[in-house]
Every structure is written in C-alpha cells, then in structure tokens.
C-alpha cells in the first residue's frame, strides 16, 4: 500500500505489527513521517526504552531535555487522562540497532488512565517517531490513530456483531473480516441517505436500487 500512494508530508501511524525497519525505511524514502508503536515484538529495544523511562520518571526527568503534554477528556461515561513525554533519541544514549530505524528522532511514552463507571484502567505505551521532539504533535498523531481504530472496531462490533461471530475455521475468519470491512467502507461512501449504518444496511438488503447506489459510490471512490 505504501508503495502505491503518495505519502509525502504525511504522518503514518502503525500499531506494533507494522513496526518493522523496512516499513519505516520505505516511509522515509517516500518523504513521509512515522509514529509506530513499540511493543514486545522487539523485546530488546522495548525493554531498553521501558527501563530508561521508568528510571527517568522516578527522577522526575531531572537534567533531561524533553517535551511534555497533559490532556483530560470526558465522554461516553468515562474520564480519560493522557500524559505524553517526548525525548530525543540522543537522550537515551544510543538504542539497540538504532541505525536500522531510518529517520528515528524521537521516543515517546504515553500514559493513559481511564475512569469508567465500574473500573479504572491504566496503560503505558511507547512509540518510535521521526517527528520532532514535540509531545503535543506526537500525542495528537497517536490520538487520531486510536480514534479511527476505535470507531471502526465499534462499528464492526455493534453493526456487524463481529465479536459474536462463530466463524473460526481455516481462512474463514480472515476472509469474513475483510468482507465486513469492505462492506463498512462501501456503506460509508454512500452519503445521500442520512441514516445510521444499520438502517442503511437494511435498506440495501430490501432495495436493489439502493444497493446499486452503494456499490456505485464505492467503485467511484
């Protein structure tokens, strides 16, 4: 996909599955920037970054040049606070196979605390970024990534009942997951009918003309 589209000047955000040296090299080669999640699929690098931030945080980042941002949001019966720390790679004194991460400039730590009606969750996430040492800029890119991800997951679960699916054999789960996402994109492309996703899907099931309208909009997109 990255080879097919123009990403010049764009910020590419990817979850840990896409945190690969060849992918970030291609992003930089095509003049884009990246913010990619760092998890245990890169254990040595992950533990190095995690240990460094834990030590720096206990010392209140004394003597360390960094950028910090704090946000609080309310909605959907929850209160969420997000703290973002961004530091230059140089501050960490060299990372494991650092030279393989093209354009790497910034390491980011995000701490999220969500207060729901029945529980409180706490999450700490690390990111590799080619963006400048700017906690607000990096935090906004990360937030937008998860906003899109959460919206898609919610639609698939509520409208398509994906979490309740009993399709589990061989390639069927992957194939049906792809079909659901194609269907979701197709319905979203059709904007003449101002109704919910569920209502538009029902209309398409009962009205062949409207179904063809959805397919027409999808093919033209």
Provide the phi-psi class of 170: left if phi over 0, else alpha when psi is between -120 and 50, else beta. left
In whole angstroms, what is the distance from residue 1 CA to residue 113 CA?
34
pLDDT, tens digit only, all 221 positions of the chain: 778 788 899 999 888 888 999 999 999 999 999 999 999 989 999 999 999 999 999 999 999 999 999 998 876 667 889 999 999 999 998 899 999 999 999 999 999 998 877 888 899 999 999 999 999 999 999 888 665 555 555 666 667 776 677 777 788 877 877 888 788 778 878 888 888 778 888 888 898 988 888 888 877 75
Q: The pTM is what?
A: 0.69
> 7 forms bridges with which residues in the sheet?
none
Cβ contacts of residue 210 below 8 Å, gap of 6+? 193, 203, 204
CA distance 102 to 30: 12
SS3 32: coil
- Give tens-digit pLDDT for 63-92: 999 999 999 887 666 788 999 999 999 999
How many CB atoms neighbour CB 167 within 10 A? 12
Map tokens 């890119």 to a residue: 141
């Amino acid at each position: 996909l990255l080879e097919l589209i123009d990403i010049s000047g764009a910020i590419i955000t990817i979850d840990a599955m896409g945190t690969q040296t060849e992918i970030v090299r291609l992003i930089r080669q095509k003049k884009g920037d990246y913010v990619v999640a760092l998890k245990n699929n890169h254990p040595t690098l992950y533990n190095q970054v995690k240990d460094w931030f834990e030590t720096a945080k206990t010392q209140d980042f004394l003597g360390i040049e960094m950028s910090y941002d704090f946000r609080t949001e309310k909605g959907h019966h929850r209160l969420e606070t997000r703290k973002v720390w961004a530091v230059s790679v140089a501050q960490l004194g060299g990372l494991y196979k650092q030279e393989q991460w093209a354009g790497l400039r910034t390491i980011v730590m995000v701490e999220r605390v969500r207060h729901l009606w029945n529980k409180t969750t706490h999450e700490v996430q690390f990111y590799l970024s080619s963006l400048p040492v700017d906690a607000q800029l990096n935090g906004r890119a990360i937030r937008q990534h998860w906003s899109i991800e959460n919206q898609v997951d919610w639609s698939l679960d509520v409208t398509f009942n994906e979490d309740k699916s009993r399709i589990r054999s061989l390639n069927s789960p992957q194939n049906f997951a792809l079909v659901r996402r194609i269907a979701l994109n197709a319905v979203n492309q059709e904007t003449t009918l101002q109704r919910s996703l569920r209502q538009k899907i029902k209309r398409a099931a009962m009205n062949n003309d409207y179904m063809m309208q959805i397919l027409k909009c999808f093919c033209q997109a």
